[in-house]
Structure 1
């Protein structure tokens, strides 16, 4: 059973118990707290929401530490109370944080739920590519089945780490702002002003990334997990990692020996310019790949799934870009 399956099973069994244990949990945001109450699955979306809401909302991030692996997180009674009291809930979706949907359903919450995967625009792009490649199998009914808007389910073939796609985050920010205005129309002007400022920062970052892509020269990269692949693609790189390797690491499963060997062969091929390393899912296999990369003189850049302390979303993404540039310049 994968870590995702274990998490789902634990949540389904424990959702009723969570309500009973609520009296023992740490205080959750009060229902009568001043302003709106927003709950985000991770501090990445929590930070974005706070940037857009300003001091008109209280934002609670369920996962706010790099020491926690979001893939295997098991929600608490406190989390369920926070969801129950929320006006807006933000999740990544795509099977990344299924505990959010279990909590929403278990608490009877009437909050507006925003899925970053669904609002990112990536599903539409994926469907367009499918339709272009095989028009005979692109009827609407099949497409709806394939890309059903069920937040908690894994979407086959989609890299769900959409927060590393700066362009997608612009769509997510627009969806959050729409929910803020819908919930608190009296402060619509403030929310829309905050959105405009946030989008301006994103556009500046995208422009810098486009310029850097032209000077870095592209090439092949490897990754212990597909977390930063969108960002690396924007910088002109192609991920050559065997899919079976990265999937096993992401799911906390045993890495097939052949997949590990293929990954080590890729590292030894001389074609890889950079190894993207996710420290939150470190394992003996990822350590072997990192050791091989360092021995081969390949630049290694660490990436995490949660917002580091002292950073906001834009400064964090910019720091990741600068880390890639520095590593390749020094190599």
Structure 2
């Protein structure tokens, strides 16, 4: 079974010396007199990188730390090159809530003072989210860590909270708007472009929500089994019922063995004929997920895959639309 253990950032002495040799002011502190042609945006995964590209357009250079659909962000082990990448950031985008904890370690190691957007803080279920100030931005040269964050600080895993917020269209809307606001402060001459791009992106999100509404109109209340919580926000937005025993999906997410009684309960649920679709995450799994997946296929229950990062050649919008279409097709199969 894949173990979802957050690995620390390990930097060799030679790497640290090499980074120390990069003299001069950090590019994070971009002054009005020597502002670059593009703003370097560093995202923890290509999911947020794609959103930043949509908002920033030609005025940003987006670098995503994790781009492989086979890489589990929970287990990612950052490198010296990642540290240098973050050191050069003008804006940083992370998920938060322990999902990409390596970003916090990288910020501390690199000494970056770039403003940080933490996506979970825009989710309505996040503790203290109502207190989050979407307009808060560190002053030039000031570390983002000196600002107050919502309860939980966006970094630690929170029991009972689903950190996979990029599957929640409403959260992504706010993230896009905040990216535009931050970019506009870093490059005021292009603020109107960033705002227009964000508005166009939000319109596309509205299209996704319309598609989810169509599923709800025909299949509201249909039971879905998810091997872990990755797609739950999208499932709920479609008006579907996540029937998975909590102990099952939580164990898989944490890289632990599913308790035998929970596995039995899950298999009985699948055998009951109540489950209409199963959604699996191909980036994680183990013997228990294989067992329930095999059981679903034996019962002719459609099994579809939702990943945590972008498939090759996809944008955030095209990827989510593909997921929604796959869900809709599965429900009518």
What's the TM-score once normalised by structure 2's chain length? 0.85
For the residues of structure 2 that align with 1:21 and 1:4, how far apart are their CA atoms?
Answer: 31
Q: How has the CA–CA distance of structure 1 residues 95 and 3 changed in structure 2, closer, same or farther, with 3 Å as cutoff?
A: farther
1:237 aligns with 2:240: yes
In the alignment, which residue of structure 2 is the partner of 1:311? 314
1:222 aligns with 2:222: no
How big is the shift at 1:236? 1.3
Q: How has the CA–CA distance of structure 1 residues 242 and 156 changed in structure 2, closer, same or farther, with 3 Å as cutoff?
A: same
How big is the shift at 1:33? 6.3
How big is the shift at 1:326? 1.0
1:159 aligns with 2:162: yes
How big is the shift at 1:34? 3.8
1:69 corresponds to which of 72, 79, 92: 72
How big is the shift at 1:111? 0.7
1:273 corresponds to which of 247, 262, 276: 276
For the residues of structure 2 that align with 1:100 and 1:51, how far apart are their CA atoms?
Answer: 22
1:260 aligns with 2:256: no
Contact 1:274 1:299 in 2 (8 A): yes
Which runs of 5 or more residues in structure 1 are unaligned? 24-29, 129-146
In the alignment, which residue of structure 1 is the partner of 2:137? none
For the residues of structure 1 that align with 2:14 and 2:194, how far apart are their CA atoms?
Answer: 34
1:79 corresponds to which of 75, 82, 89: 82
Aligned length: 302
How big is the shift at 1:251? 1.8
How big is the shift at 1:300? 0.9
For the residues of structure 1 that align with 2:246 and 2:11, how far apart are their CA atoms?
Answer: 33
1:20 aligns with 2:16: yes
1:102 aligns with 2:98: no
Secondary structure of the residue aligned to 1:123 is coil
Secondary structure of the residue aligned to 2:77 is coil
Per-residue deviation, residues 231-260 of structure 1 (Å, max 9, x unmatched): 111111111112221112112222222222
Per-residue deviation, residues 76-127 of structure 1 (Å, max 9, x unmatched): 1111111111011101111100000111111110011111001233326988
Q: How big is the alpha-carbon RMSD for the aligned residues of Structure 1 and Structure 2?
A: 2.4
For the residues of structure 1 that align with 2:176 and 2:71, how far apart are their CA atoms?
Answer: 25
1:93 aligns with 2:96: yes
For the residues of structure 2 that align with 1:315 and 1:6, how far apart are their CA atoms?
Answer: 30
1:57 corresponds to which of 48, 55, 60: 60
More helix by share: 1
Which moved further from structure 2: 187-196 or 249-258?
Answer: 249-258
Per-residue deviation, residues 13-43 of structure 1 (Å, max 9, x unmatched): x2575842757xxxxxx95964111000000
1:117 aligns with 2:113: no
In the alignment, which residue of structure 1 is the partner of 2:191? 188
Contact 1:101 1:151 in 2 (8 A): no
In the alignment, which residue of structure 1 is the partner of 2:146? none
